[in-house]
A and B are shown apart, each in its own frame.
Chain A
Amino acid sequence: MLLALLIWVFTVVIVWMFAGDYWTFPEAINEHGRQYDQHFATTLYITGAIFFVSQIALGWTIFKYRDNGGRATYSHGNNKLEVLWTSAAAVLFIGAVLLSTRIWAGVHLTPPQGEVVEIEAVAKQFLFNFRYAGADGKFGKLDIKQINDAAGNPFGIDEKDPAGKDDVVNSNIRVPKGKPVRLILRSRDVIHNFFVRELRVKQDMVPGMVIPLHFQADKVGKYDVACSELCGLGHHQMRAELEVMEPADFEKWLQEEDAKLKAQ
């Protein structure tokens, strides 16, 4: 009795927690994010219905079929029902995953169209750094022996490569609004992670690997980049800022940085 009641109360509270918009995603800032939210909602409806029906039914049986001194029904099951719920579950679950592959493909399988802004990222315990190719549009070669954080060279850009002379390095990431970005992820020491809630993307940064990630941001503003792979004692402090700028402001910023480098 009490148990049936408790199960029902929890069920209703949980449905309320998920259906309400008190605790929810931050607003998405791109098309991918909106598709993500939509598919999340679809999955929530499917699973929510299964959740609700199973919990309510469980509570109901506890409430209805208490021992009253009689005898239970003698039944070893029902094959038709068995087949029915097996196939229903299979269709719903596999259906959901097939629907979601579109979202996955958008980030990882279909290369972005049009002009792409290339940015490199490197992580170390417990900092991010980002690199832009500069005026020549070419990234300079890297040489780990030349890594020097104090001198502002966390990537180890090769002194001798002219293409690297104008590479802009920054500890926050800035991107132009409405342009596709290809972010190339690396790590120097342990596994870190690039996660921006508003972009609805998350990707590990793995030493020894070079992992491309595609996204586009359509709303000007500043957003948190939060490391989401345990990387050591400073993991919870590993933060960078993603700033989405008007394309003109972005160009202007890059040119200013270039000019600073030339002045050195």
Chain B
Amino acid sequence: MASHATHVHTPPSGFIRKYVFSLDHKVIGKQYYFLALFSVFLGMFLSVLMRFHMTYPDAKVSWFESLWPVGAPGGVMTPELYLSLMTMHGTIMVFFVLTTAPQAGFGNFFLPIQIGAEDMAFPVLNMLSFWTTFLALLVMCAAFFVEGGAPLGGWTAYAPLSALGESAGPGQGMGMNLWILSIALFCGASLMGAINFIATTIDLRVPGMTLMRMPLTCWAWFVTAILSLLGFAVLLSAGILLLMDRTAGSSFFLPAGLVVNDQILDHRGGSPLLWQHLFWFFGHPEVYIAILPGMGLASNVLSVFARKPIFGYKAMVYAILAIGFLGFVVWGHHMFISGMNPYTSIAFSIMTMAIGVPSAIKTFNWVGTLWGAQIRLTTAMLFALGFVSLFVSGGISGIFLGQPGLDLYLHDTYFVVGHFHMIMGVAAIFGMFSGTFFWFPKMFGRMMNETLGKIHFYLTFIGVYAIFTPMHVLGIVGNPRRYADYKTFEFMGQLLNVHTFMTHAAIFTAVVQVLFVINLFWSMKKGAKAPDNPWEATSLEWSIPSPPPFDNFGGKHLTVQHGPYEYAVPGKEKDHVMQVDPA
């Protein structure tokens, strides 16, 4: 404790140290949040363009040509432009939205506070990881503006398509190099962040904050950080190997006997499947990196607004740990059709079904938490409930895709696109919305507008179901994914009405998001002043002022006496017991 007392922590003065190259975890958390906010709107804009092209492939839109003179000559989008929009949409959403906001954004801001720390364990590293992420985003966006444009190989960048360079298609030259560079930077940033989160959780908890007294959000951030550490390290190596294949003439992913555009290539010994193994060794844990913080947050918010302890806290913790562990042994379910050994597929499929079990446990426990509750339907709660509904809808289709027998048909159809958008895309986004409404008062010291929030919630909830449910039936009819249009195949032409419906739903949903932006920025300036604990919640962040002072706890030395979810405690006057309340 002595070291604590001598540790002098004074706020920096000057704009740059305060808001730009800040070491304060709260500022860095907000920086990540706004980076993700920018990215999600960019990603959504790209997706609306894609949907538009899917439905109206021959439409002439003059500003397409202004934006992409080569990709949209005469204002008509080419298939290669469609594919590059798709690649950038997927990449930006997965890396710069789902991996940043829930973990690096909210996690940075609230992990230290929820465990009673003054800051992250390594503030300088923290700043460095944000600015590296920022650089990665710039490099990624630059891919749009180089010759050939953005890459078109999908966010999975399968070799050899990704390894061959320009001969494999426009965007596969310089655009692809920038893509790899950006991802490599992003990996580096995530590794720095992961180390910081792990060290902070292990070392900086205040007395009394035992592991089993941590809010489930902290558990989720902690396990996510471990997944990031192991996953991004592998992606970084894979990215470097891919770059070598492209620029140094190596053959890690390129086999002998390639004939591209009638040119015989002089490569030998590489394996296209090696890329897939490395990529998915990262890629599957990545979907949990995206969703675990949302799960932690939803658990937290459900308990707060149900005014009831979380159902089965221990089971929830074990489920997070089980998901974290099993997440590393199921990557092969992305490769049933790839040509890997068919016996391996069976092993991977059993593991995959096993990971369904802890996911199901979480769902049951959420419903259990609501049973016998006193539900306060705030906007944050609505989004958390929406999260649960979407998580169920998206999880269920995983039971189909996890069986190699059924994947024989469903693989790489729109069924998959529907599945991962539901569970990894919009469920995670709902987690972020819920987190925004829940923590906004603490982050900005003001309340968001609840009425506007609720309208935004209902319209978005309807919108996302309308976009992504029909994708499943398209997949059942057999519509492959990553198709720039439907015209070559007669049976896809018959599905045009479904596509059109989805496109309109997507435009509707995108427009509705304006309500959120208005609410966010208006509330930052004009919202009602937030009290310390507007939601009557128990964890540590609610026992300090909104927004928190520079060193979070004003130099006070706390001890934690209670678990994180003491609501409806019998025999108490208030219906909740704060974690810092006396024993």
User: Residues of A with Cβ closer than 8 Å to B?
Assistant: 2-3, 6-7, 10, 13-14, 17-18, 23-26, 36, 39-40, 43, 46-47, 50-51, 54-55, 57-58, 61-62, 65-79, 81-82, 85-86, 89-90, 93-94, 96-97, 100-104, 107-109, 124-125, 144-145, 147, 149, 156, 188-191, 193, 195, 197, 200-204, 206-209, 211, 224, 226-237, 239
Contacts and interface: CB of A to CB of B under 8 A. Distances in A.
B543 interface: no
10 contacts: A61-B375, A71-B568, A86-B357, A89-B360, A125-B260, A193-B337, A203-B337, A203-B339, A208-B271, A239-B488
Contacts of B78: 233
Interface in B454-499: 458, 461-462, 465, 469-470, 472-474, 476-478, 480, 482-486, 488-491, 498
Nearest to A231: B161
Given A23-B477, A62-B377, 8 more contacts: A10-B465, A75-B309, A81-B368, A82-B315, A93-B353, A100-B404, A144-B264, A229-B158
A46 B310 CA distance: 28
Interface in B402-419: 402-406, 408-409, 411-413
Contacts of B270: 208
A103 B158 CA distance: 27
A55 B483 CA distance: 33
Given A54-B363, A72-B374, A207-B160, A43 B400 contact: yes
A104 B403 CA distance: 9
B146 interface: no
A3 B569 contact: no
B405 A39 contact: yes
Contacts of A47: 396-397, 399-400
B480 A226 contact: yes
B377 A3 contact: yes
Contacts of A239: 488-489
Contacts of B160: 189-191, 207
Given A24-B477, A81-B368, A230 B83 contact: yes
A97 B357 contact: no
Contacts of B153: 230
Given A144-B264, A147-B262, A25 B477 contact: yes
Interface string B336-373: 01110011011001101110110011011111101111
Contacts of A55: 389, 392-393
Nearest to B163: A190
A107 B336 CA distance: 12
Contacts of B366: 58
A207 B373 CA distance: 58
Contacts of B473: 17-18, 23
Contacts of B490: 224
Nearest to A20: B473
A43 B260 contact: no
B476 A73 contact: no
Interface residues of B, number: 117
B259 interface: yes
Interface string B563-578: 0010111100001000
A36 B152 contact: no
Contacts of B338: 204, 206
Contact of A43 (B170, B406, B486, B489): B406
A83 to B, nearest CB: 9
B232 interface: no
A236 B375 CA distance: 49
A39 B462 CA distance: 31
B295 interface: no
A85 B480 CA distance: 35
B410 to A, nearest CB: 9
Interface in B141-174: 152-154, 158, 160-161, 164, 168-170
A89 B404 contact: no
Contacts of A197: 409, 478, 491
A101 B339 CA distance: 17
Contacts of B510: none
Interface string B303-321: 0001111111111000000
Nearest to B152: A233
A172 to B, nearest CB: 14
A67 B178 CA distance: 53
A103 B396 CA distance: 21
A67 B307 CA distance: 9
B376 A67 contact: yes
A232 B489 contact: no
Nearest to B389: A7
Contacts of B575: 71-72
Contacts of A190: 158, 160-161, 164, 168, 260
Nearest to B477: A23
B370 A202 contact: no
A108 B337 CA distance: 11
A38 B285 CA distance: 32
B208 interface: no
B356 A89 contact: yes
Which one of A14, A77, A125 has the highest number of Cβ atoms from chain B below 10 Å of its Cβ? A77
Nearest to B399: A47
Given A82-B315, A124-B259, A61 B370 contact: yes
B245 interface: no
Contacts of B423: none
Contacts of B207: none
A207 B258 contact: yes
B527 interface: no
B311 A43 contact: no
Nearest to A189: B260
Given A57-B367, A237-B488, A100 B388 contact: no
Contacts of A75: 308-309, 311, 372
B74 interface: no
Q: Which 4 A-B pairs have the closest CB atoms?
A: A208-B255, A100-B405, A103-B405, A77-B312
Contact of B482 (A62, A124, A204, A235): A235
Nearest to B402: A97
B483 A96 contact: no
A74 B568 CA distance: 5
B350 A94 contact: yes
Given A57-B367, A233-B83, A206 B339 contact: yes
B273 interface: yes
B529 to A, nearest CB: 24
Contacts of A226: 478, 480, 489
A189 B258 contact: yes
Given A144-B257, A230-B482, A73 B312 contact: no
B309 to A, nearest CB: 5
Contact of B354 (A24, A94, A125, A201): A94
A74 B569 CA distance: 6
B488 A236 contact: yes
Given A75-B308, A197-B478, A206-B272, A54 B258 contact: no
A149 B262 CA distance: 8
